[in-house]
Structure 1
């Protein structure tokens, strides 16, 4: 089975409403910004390992909003302690999607340590997440997505992905004051 990252992101688009906060990191962020540009996309690129921590802060500060984090496996490995912190805080509005390609993709596609054996869903369950599941098939992911997004968090869906189409890496935008202002204004307005 092969699950392309862009297909998984496209499957998520119809379920993201105008009040949801999306915290995306690295290539998932670049792809998401092209596929679904919106003001409540929080760009956590440059904070490798911190997307889930940023999402936790946003979820706790905005309990009336759903917060979706599109994390990378290399990024999460740099901050595994976040899983325990998230589980202990127990934000019911946090939905963690881990895009696992078993490499540090934007940093040269170097393989992750233990790439073939690491069990991210197992880590999350052991940390205390409400639910953890894995997908390597688009049809199964699409079929389970409504249930995943209605269930209380924190929960994680580990998506075993391949890259898919190549989308531009707009570093100038993600590091810009304009990106932060746009998000801040949308967060405060809605």
Structure 2
């Protein structure tokens, strides 16, 4: 599956979810019109999208939070899975785009590629459910169940390796968080 196909599918199911996107998911999410409101681009802090999403899920328990994370980004703070599971936000949906690369920094293969199973790690950490999908059809079929499940849940989306996008939305994180804070107070 291509990243854009997964992004398009997520757009259909976003509804009023708060979203956090990092690295290679940030620009396609923005291009799909999904970063206009209730969204934070976490491209300035690789590895922190999961934790940022956790804070939003805890701060707005009546809203679902979709975290669009990368495999390389998650590896940088793999321990965040334990923290997320320990706090157990029922409104937390963690989507991992898995291509086996640190794509943003030059397409280096990630440690543990072909060995690490993020679904098993998430479940062992205490996530309620986890899915692994590798085709658009499989993802579309699973999305209704995913979005109706009680979180925290993790979805590993196997995507094709591709070049770029190497551009990022370019809006610093601090003003985005300030705008979200104003919406919730």
Q: With the length of structure 2 as denominator, give the TM-score of the two structures.
A: 0.91
* 8 Å Cα contact 1:93-1:153 kept in structure 2: yes
Other structure's SS at 1:114 match: coil
Displacement of 1:48 after TM fit? 1.0
Q: Distance in 2 between matches of 1:105 and 1:168?
A: 8
Q: How big is the alpha-carbon RMSD for the aligned residues of Structure 1 and Structure 2? A: 1.9
Residue 52 (str. 1) matches residue 45 (str. 2)? no
Q: Are residues 56 and 109 of structure 1, via their aligned partners in 2, closer, same or farther at CA, if it must alter by over 3 Å?
A: same
Residue 119 (str. 1) matches residue 128 (str. 2)? no
* Aligned structure 1 segments of 4 or more residues deviating by more than 6 angstroms: none
Residue 24 (str. 1) matches residue 21 (str. 2)? yes
Structure 1: gaps spanning 5 or more residues: none
Q: How does 1:63-142 map to 2 (within 5 A)?
A: 63-142=61-140
Displacement of 1:167 after TM fit? 5.0
Q: Are residues 100 and 92 of structure 1, via their aligned partners in 2, closer, same or farther at CA, if it must alter by over 3 Å?
A: same
Displacement of 1:175 after TM fit? 2.2
Q: Distance in 2 between matches of 1:9 and 1:100?
A: 13
Q: 1:188 matched to which residue of 2?
A: 184
From 32, 37, 42, the equivalent of 1:35 is 32
* 8 Å Cα contact 1:20-1:40 kept in structure 2: yes
Q: Distance in 1 between matches of 2:53 and 2:173?
A: 19
Displacement of 1:137 after TM fit? 0.8
* 8 Å Cα contact 2:103-2:164 kept in structure 1: no
Q: Are residues 97 and 123 of structure 1, via their aligned partners in 2, closer, same or farther at CA, if it must alter by over 3 Å?
A: same
Displacement of 1:68 after TM fit? 0.5
Residue 175 (str. 1) matches residue 172 (str. 2)? yes
* 8 Å Cα contact 1:34-1:167 kept in structure 2: no
Other structure's SS at 1:55 match: helix
Q: Distance in 2 between matches of 1:149 and 1:12?
A: 10
Q: Distance in 1 between matches of 2:72 and 2:163?
A: 20
Q: Are residues 166 and 73 of structure 1, via their aligned partners in 2, closer, same or farther at CA, if it must alter by over 3 Å?
A: closer
Displacement of 1:123 after TM fit? 0.6
* 8 Å Cα contact 2:43-2:168 kept in structure 1: no
